[in-house]
């Protein structure tokens, strides 16, 4: 089961979102009521998921299917949009003592990097468990990092609000996240300006759902949830304006979470 798997029929109660919503840039409204309600529903359901007992030396496993896109110049000098398979299985050391193993196309590879405790861009289960569970404090932690790398004076066009939303999405689809951390991440996302709901979305596995989304520079990042359980199904990026990547409506990337869990060794599945 996914680390964000939730019980069916969770009650929607909007509580405890805190007062730490960042000041929205001009013309960017606060998160919509519908998105806050959906995120709170996901948070409540995630918080009631039984916590997995984790021991040092184990691995967090996740399996995904989907695609990413790249632009490639053709012989005529024009750019073609090419779709690349993003399906994989991955084993990440829960305590960061070993390098991450990733399987693509039946081939296993050790990801670059030195084993360690983890960080926002490459989290371990231990790192996730140590994050603040207060939504305000958690968003500050994430946004401070986004501000350093994507704020004023940087070469990034993403901006700290969008990068915070992307970072939270990456952490949530990490596969196995402590229930309290998952709940806090959903509530932290509700504090980000510009977050809204897309009523109908389909993940890379063909599963329909409803999405929490944020649009930036003509691209809409969507987190897709099961309608009845509020379980996170996957994430995709959809163009809302024509650009070099394609026409409005093009799904540039789409990744669906298929399975996850804690295992004793890399190569095992739950």
218: left (phi over 0), alpha (psi -120 to 50) or beta: left
What is the Cα–Cα distance from 240 to 47, expressed in whole angstroms? 33
User: Taking 50 as the threshold, does the pLDDT of residue 187 lie above it?
Assistant: yes
User: Taking 60 as the threshold, does the pLDDT of residue 52 lie above it?
Assistant: yes
SS3 214: strand
Quote the mean pLDDT of the chain. Answer: 88
- pLDDT of 113: 84
Q: Is the pTM of this model over 0.95?
A: no
- pLDDT of 152: 65
- pLDDT of 114: 80
SS3 166: helix
**Domain ranges, ordered by start, for the chain:** 33-69+86-196+258-263
* Contact of 199 with 225, CB cutoff 8 Å: no
**26-30, 77-81, 104-108: lowest mean pLDDT where?**
77-81
Q: For the segment 5-44, what is each residue's pLDDT rounded down to a tens digit?
A: 333 333 333 333 333 444 445 678 999 999 999 999 999 9
């Amino acid at each position: 089961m996914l680390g964000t798997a939730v019980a069916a029929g969770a009650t929607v109660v909007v509580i405890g979102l805190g007062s730490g919503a960042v000041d929205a840039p001009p013309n960017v409204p606060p998160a919509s009521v519908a998105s806050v309600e959906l995120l709170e529903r996901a948070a409540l359901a995630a918080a009631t998921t039984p916590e997995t007992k984790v021991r040092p030396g184990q691995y967090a496993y996740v399996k995904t299917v989907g695609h990413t896109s790249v632009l490639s110049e053709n012989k005529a000098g024009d750019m073609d949009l090419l779709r690349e398979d993003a399906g994989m299985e991955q084993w990440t050391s829960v305590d960061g003592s070993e390098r991450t193993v990733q399987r693509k196309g039946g081939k296993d590879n050790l990801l670059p990097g030195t084993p360690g405790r983890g960080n926002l861009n490459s989290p371990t289960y231990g790192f996730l468990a140590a994050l603040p569970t207060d939504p305000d404090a958690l968003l500050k932690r994430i946004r401070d990092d986004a501000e350093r790398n994507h704020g004023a004076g940087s070469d990034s066009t993403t901006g700290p609000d969008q990068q915070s939303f992307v970072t939270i999405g990456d952490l949530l689809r990490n596969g196995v996240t402590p229930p309290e951390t998952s709940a806090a991440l959903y509530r932290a996302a509700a504090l980000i300006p510009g977050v809204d709901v897309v009523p109908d979305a389909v993940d890379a596995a063909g599963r329909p759902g409803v999405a929490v989304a944020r649009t930036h520079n003509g691209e809409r990042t969507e987190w897709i949830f099961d309608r009845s359980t509020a379980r996170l199904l996957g994430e995709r990026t959809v163009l809302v304006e024509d650009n070099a990547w394609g026409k409005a409506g093009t799904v540039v990337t789409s990744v669906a979470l298929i399975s996850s869990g804690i295992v004793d060794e890399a190569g095992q599945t739950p």
